[in-house]
Structure 1
């Protein structure tokens, strides 16, 4: 399929099965799964642990091949998209400074490294650009990871439970930071999370996965303009409905 218009990701008939190395038993994770993602749209995929959220993200990223189905992605220029990815762990190079970690990503994307300081300032790390990751807090390291992903101006941003390893106060701050960055630099994005309130706060659309293999149990359009507040009653109501779907 050739994607046209605003579509950036098209998944159709997607299937993936893993085999338990202990007994060889097949474990189907995805079967005949479909999803479309538009330019500028942030879609959150919510599900319990083991539902297949990260597998779905890794298939879109090209890190895991599907067993069957179609995975089509396109960038703003009609070619392959430039991907930015934020993992559960920062995955920084400890022997490089915060600035150097961002510069390496820029250079790998064929972009000038001079933009590193600007994006580090945008995530509140202007005073820590020369710090090594081992001297930074967990939240600061994840800010560098977010800065690295946004610095390359990706067509498609993939977020694999980026705040799940952080304490709730730090995670809340980074969710609000991500919202600010998204408002300043909107793009297509796929967020996988087990946190329904995080999904309601950040996403334009929430897809709830359940079962094994995963199926779409519910889908919601978040009818609230940005910036959003975690205390918004509408978002909490949506959170409650997602929890009920998961249960």
Structure 2
């Protein structure tokens, strides 16, 4: 099982209750007027929210475990007929169609691209799927220098929860570090499952996320055939400023 498959195993638990970005995607989807592509759809968090019998919706992900969980959730909610799932690498995939009105890279998905080549390949692959003027929305962590300076590498306890797959208690810890030279945030999830006999089974999931700065991202978009429409600084669609927590790029595909 890959690290991404392991992450998918716990993703929904870790993100329980997170709905901050839903108004953003609701607004963009409502104005899209056409098919929507969720790139790096994971376990289907957004697919469930965006599923609409009147709007074709496609989810793409490379993780077998994530897509299996997405299928189960969609089926459990009677949404499987409204969503198509594709297993593929977002850097290189055959367009399922070429008339998407909106493509989504949500919640730091783009940061899984570990090199400039990967970043350009992903943006260009998505470009091939969009109709002329179709929109790409990329939601990114803002690499605040103050946050980077405060990181101490310590392991922090986040929460304890019950694993819905096993019914056993799980304690969730995390830590992160920044490699400033490589522009990479190294995030580590530690999940301790406490068995009935008191023994602890520990799962460690390393995640490396390459972050980008504003003008770097603007250049990547331009090089990939997009025209920047706007940059939001949060999920309330406020303009991006120096203190913004997010960088949400919305760009149109040029043909």
Instruction: Considering Cα pairs closer than 8 Å and 6+ residues apart, tell me whether 1 or 2 has the greater RCO.
Output: 1
Hey, which of these two has a bigger chunk of helix by percent?
1
Hey, which of these two has a bigger chunk of strand by percent?
2
